Amino acid sequence: MDKIDRAIINSLQSDFPICDSPYQQVAKQLDISEDNLLQRLQSLLDNGTLSRFGPLFHAEQMGGALSLAAVKAPEDQFDLVAEKINALPEVAHNYARNNTLNMWFVLATETLEQQALAIQAIESQTGLTVYNMPKIKEYFVGLKLDA
């Protein structure tokens, strides 16, 4: 990473402009071309420096549902269970954990009813119980990591 890559990462962590040409506006603030910004951002994603770049939405404020869920996946079937769970478009993230509940994932749906259907689908396809842990209260941490 060079100085420009660091500036890109630092600037894109907050206050991303909502306008017709947001990348052009950010590029202007960084004194680089929009093409250069987009190429560098793609390179940072491709080489793994960034795992993702995109918005975070408050699903509940838009009428949707967001929940953390977990299953007890048999070790010898872990990859197969992960594959089945990850195949659902409602699954946003999936992580292995060193715990009795060894697979944790985020469910993001447009409605609570869709969330229940996704849980039913996972249970049906895997034969495992889904432990649904909906958010009770949200805390804004405001995490920003300077590159």
Better pLDDT: 110 or 141: 110
Same domain, 90 and 117: yes
Q: Which of 13, 86, 87 is nearest to 44 (CA)?
A: 13
- CB distance 135 to 58 below 8 Å: no
Terminal CA-to-CA distance of the chain, rounded, Å?
Answer: 9
The pLDDT, as a whole number, for residue 29 is 94
Q: What is the pLDDT of residues 11-49, one digit of tens each?
A: 988 888 889 999 999 999 999 999 999 999 999 999 999
CATH code (residue 106): 3.30.70.920
Residue 53 placed within a domain: no
Q: Report CA 93 to chain centroid distance, whole Å.
A: 6
Same domain, 74 and 20: no
Residue 141 placed within a domain: no
Same domain, 69 and 129: yes
Residue 54 placed within a domain: no
The secondary structure of residue 90, as a DSSP letter, is T
Same domain, 39 and 63: no
Position 52 confidence tier, pLDDT thresholds 50, 70, 90: confident
Alpha-helix runs per DSSP H in the chain? 3-12, 22-30, 34-46, 78-86, 112-126
Same domain, 63 and 130: yes
Inter-CA distances, 146 with 10, 23, 75, 131, Å = 6, 20, 38, 36
Domain that holds residue 113: 59-134
Position 62 confidence tier, pLDDT thresholds 50, 70, 90: confident
Scan for tokens 């985020």, then name that residue: 106
Q: Please determine, for residue 144, whether its predicted confidence score (pLDDT) is greater than 90.
A: no
Same domain, 105 and 74: yes
The pLDDT, as a whole number, for residue 122 is 97
The pLDDT, as a whole number, for residue 94 is 87
Residue 139 placed within a domain: no
Domain count for the chain: 2
Residue 40 placed within a domain: yes
The pLDDT, as a whole number, for residue 53 is 81
Q: Is 30 left (phi over 0), alpha (psi -120 to 50) or beta?
A: alpha
Same domain, 68 and 128: yes
Q: What is the pLDDT of residues 81-130, one digit of tens each?
A: 999 999 999 998 888 999 999 999 999 898 889 999 999 999 999 999 99
Same domain, 63 and 126: yes
Same domain, 114 and 84: yes
The span from the CA of 135 to the CA of 116, in Å, is 15
Q: Please determine, for residue 60, whether its predicted confidence score (pLDDT) is greater than 80.
A: no
